[in-house]
Copies of this chain bind each other. A is one copy, B any other.
Amino acid sequence: MIHNRDRLARTAAHEVALECIEAGIEAARPARAMRAALERSGSELRIEDTTLDLDAYDEIAVLGGGKAAAGMARVVEESLGDRLDEGVVVTNDPAETERIRVVEGSHPTPDEAGMEGAREELALAERASEDTLVLCVLSGGGSALLPAPVEGVGLGELQSLTEALLASGATIEEINAVRKHLSALKGGRLATTAAPATVVGLLVSDVVENDLGTIASGPIVPDESTHGDALTVLERYAIDPAPAIRTHLDSGAAGEQPETPDGEHPAFGRTQVHVLADGFTALEAARSTADDRGYTPVILSSRVEGEAREAAKTHAAIAEEARATGNPADSPVVFLSGGETTVTMRGDGRGGPNQEFVLSGTLTIDSDGIVLASVDTDGSDGASDAAGAIADRVTLDTGERAREALADNDAYSYLAGRGAVIETGPTGTNVNDLRVLVVDDSAR
């Protein structure tokens, strides 16, 4: 899956780092994670440690949305065969299906097709009875792919607002707090619409710490945020929405619109959610690979956030300590972490957080025998075609030009010039970043 792997595998330590990355991405692919999690046996459908008796339902339907939704829907079809009655999912990455209609929508700005698909989903949910089983496949991108504006708000108004929010610097939680209060589907409303059906969510998470209300804006989980919170976000980022949007939020804040359903709503008593793949899935696969290769694997954290070049310094300090004193683990060791770091742009170069992580980390390290690799598991790191990078001290040469490149946010140009970027193309999954630090005294 790493196109230029042969050229990158300069030492045994590089080889292990690349194998860990490939194993991590592979394990986090939605279809693979779905196949690993679903087990059908007669009328029983096992999902992780839960068992559903399919015979208890008159009708079984699939709903959902997200970049990986079509691939996920197809695995449900394979598993359920003719027990599946119907379904609709919206995605920007279609796949062939038989019984489930796949609607191609747009991301990150929602479009008409996505809105039609979302309406179909709500209509199907509306028809569901207590004898219906609704399997809901959700993945990253679902918020944009499933636009269902509340009455009085038009798609164009929602599009403009989405673009303003994405450009504002607001966090994904803040953006979704606004989206939930302008949607007939998000913030738990798909679940309350489907009530009294049984709703089972199958999720692939691109959200650090897997906040279920954030993945696809949480259509089937309770929501504690309010219209007032949505207004606060708009104020905080000085966003002036279309009048229809302001009218709706104002009337909601005045108690004239129902808030999103909270945990007390009876619909959630018949809803269960399974996260089938997330950053930890990738870390566990990488851990197992490192272990197989004779390295002590150490998962530091699945939830590292912050400025990439600074997170790199702490990671590098841990790797150097291992080499120097055997703390926190003896060489040969592979340190792993996930999460999502960010880049504060100061220069005008090309790069991304994973490449800056590798460049900064390698500049921090002044010993041989340590290889750093980091990728965005979706195959695209920031504003570059590369998935990430792999480097050690040898890659940097004197370090002077590397320092300049980092100062100019130009990690891509520098690392590509030194043959150190990792190329995968789109991987079909997204469980954020995967970082691998190999400490191996024998690999100098």
Footprint of B on A, CB under 8 Å? 280, 298-307, 310-311, 313-315, 317-318, 320-321, 325, 327-328, 337, 339, 364
Please indicate which of the listed interface residues A304, A314, A318, A337 has the most CB atoms of chain B within 10 Å of its own CB.
Answer: A314
Q: Is the CB of B299 within 8 A of A304?
A: no
Please indicate which of the listed interface residues A280, A299, A328 has the most CB atoms of chain B within 10 Å of its own CB.
Answer: A328
**Copies, count:** 2
Nearest chain B CB to A335 CB, angstrom units: 8
Q: Is the CB of B320 within 8 A of A303?
A: yes
Nearest chain B CB to A343 CB, angstrom units: 12
A304 to B310, alpha carbons, bound, how many Å?
A: 10
A337 to B304, alpha carbons, bound, how many Å?
A: 17
Q: Is the CB of A318 within 8 A of B301?
A: yes
Which residues of the partner chain B approach A317 to less than 8 Å between Cβ atoms? 300-301, 303-305, 337, 339
15 extra interface residue pairs, beta carbon distance < 8 Å, beyond A280-B325, A317-B337: A298-B327, A298-B328, A299-B325, A300-B327, A301-B320, A301-B327, A302-B321, A303-B317, A304-B313, A305-B317, A306-B310, A306-B313, A306-B314, A307-B307, A314-B315
A-B contact pairs, 27 of them (CB 8 A): A298-B327, A298-B328, A299-B321, A299-B325, A299-B328, A300-B317, A300-B318, A300-B321, A300-B327, A301-B317, A301-B320, A302-B325, A303-B321, A304-B313, A304-B317, A305-B313, A305-B364, A306-B310, A306-B313, A306-B314, A307-B307, A310-B310, A310-B311, A310-B313, A317-B337, A317-B339, A328-B328
Which residues of the partner chain B approach A327 to less than 8 Å between Cβ atoms? 298-302
Q: Is the CB of B311 within 8 A of A313?
A: yes
A303 to B320, alpha carbons, bound, how many Å?
A: 8
Nearest chain B CB to A177 CB, angstrom units: 16
Nearest chain B CB to A439 CB, angstrom units: 12
Residue of B nearest to A360 (CB): B306
Nearest chain B CB to A334 CB, angstrom units: 12
Nearest chain B CB to A341 CB, angstrom units: 9
Nearest chain B CB to A41 CB, angstrom units: 30
Out of B301, B321, B339, name the residue touching A301 (CB < 8 Å).
Answer: B321
Out of B299, B301, B302, name the residue touching A314 (CB < 8 Å).
Answer: B301
Please indicate which of the listed interface residues A299, A301, A302 has the most CB atoms of chain B within 10 Å of its own CB.
Answer: A301
The 6 closest A-B pairs by CB, nearest first: A310-B310, A306-B313, A301-B321, A299-B327, A301-B317, A314-B314
Nearest chain B CB to A196 CB, angstrom units: 33
Which residues of the partner chain B approach A328 to less than 8 Å between Cβ atoms? 298-301, 328
Nearest chain B CB to A302 CB, angstrom units: 6
Nearest chain B CB to A138 CB, angstrom units: 22
Nearest chain B CB to A261 CB, angstrom units: 23
Residue of B nearest to A327 (CB): B299
Which residues of the partner chain B approach A313 to less than 8 Å between Cβ atoms? 304-306, 310-311
